[in-house]
Amino acid sequence: MQTIKGPGIFLAQFLGDNPPFDNLESICKWAKSIGFEGVQIPTWANGYFDLKLAAENVDYAQQIKGQINEWGLSITELSTHLQGQLVAVHPAYDEMFDGFAPAEYHKKPKARTEWAIQQLKYAAKASRNLGLDAVATFSGALLWHTVYPWPQRPAGLVDTGFNELAKRWLPILNEYEEYGVDLCYEIHPGEDLHDGVSYERFLSKVDNHARACLLYDPSHFVLQGMDYLTYIDHYHERIKMFHVKDAEFNPTGKQGVYGGYSDWIDRAGRFRSLGDGQVDFKAIFSKLAGYDFKSWAVMEWECAIKHPEQGAIEGAKFIADHIIRVTDKAFDDFASTGSDEAFNRKILGLD
């Protein structure tokens, strides 16, 4: 077994125009000052990190890595969530997702998709230049508007959707194989990969590609009413990244999973700061340690109630307190009587 690394912090929700969140140096020094050991970098924020340059220029990548190390931190992974979303967008969502791409690709869905695919490929090479083993992303969605089977789905619709999704992602996955990097899909409502069954559908279409891995975030399973602990048993071999995010689900006589179009604060299911929700993180950290999870525990802050800076300060300590320093000895070693093959055979009555 190996002790999980951490605590790390996903910077996406903290980037801003005001200090200390307005540049990479100051936000990293802030993260270090409140107890974090690693930063997960969003790759769409060019003012902080130039993804294309990191892919094409090893010196730039090593400079960024060295600076972050000097500030007392490690890079946990790169995130391509927004670019991954744009690999597959149903036309109904075109205008809502245009903002995820540069302005020159707005109202040009085909060009926008090509841009997103190239971004994912840059992330593979940039990760290799940074010495990283995994990239976070979303799958995008062609079928999400049909997630509830009313009206009745035409026969073959789901197969057609997943065939197209696989067609778009397979060349990207092959690029990740070339650079020895895992591509970790965050299983998330709004994506065609939103639970275990949909992930397995995708795997079957990409020939169980070794690089089609998982980012585990239990909060999304709480909001769907899924068993987030058994999920680890099913998919631990594919789980290469971990977002530590809390959530609560409190259905009433008026609303449940779908939330009645309410804002986050009024939904039955909502994300919370660490320790304020219902996720059993003691059980999660135990399971991941038992399955020898080798990567980082990274806080993703999303909460409709608590201020992000308070959530971050509390979150760093929360993760540190939950990381299990795995044992290198058995608890009953004190009672060992020693053994060798001859002794074992004697005990079994074989001689």
pLDDT tens digits, one per residue of 36-47: 999 999 999 889
Give pLDDT tens digits for 19-38: 999 999 999 999 999 999 99
Residue 335: the pLDDT is: 58
CB neighbour class for 238 (10 Å; exposed up to 12, middle 13-18, buried from 19): middle
Q: What is the pLDDT of residues 286-344, one digit of tens each?
A: 999 999 999 999 999 999 999 999 999 999 999 999 999 988 776 666 557 677 888 88
247 token code pair: 């959530």
| Tens digit of each residue's pLDDT (9 = 90 or more) over 215-271 | 999 999 999 999 999 999 999 999 999 999 999 999 999 999 999 999 999 999 999
Query: CA torsion, points 88, 233, 315, 258, in degrees to nearest 10?
Result: 50
Helices (H), the chain: 24-33, 51-56, 58-70, 81-85, 94-97, 109-130, 157-179, 196-205, 219-222, 228-235, 281-290, 308-322, 341-347
Query: What pLDDT score does 351 carry?
Result: 75
Burial of residue 291, with CB atoms counted within 10 A of its CB: 0-12 exposed, 13-18 middle, 19 or more buried = middle
Q: Is the CB of residue 259 less than 8 Å from the CB of residue 268?
A: yes
Q: How confident is the model over 136-170, as pLDDT tens digits?
A: 999 999 999 999 999 999 999 999 999 999 999 99
pLDDT at 327: 80
Decide if pLDDT at 64 tops 80.
yes
Domains and CATH numbers, the chain: 5-347 (3.20.20.150)
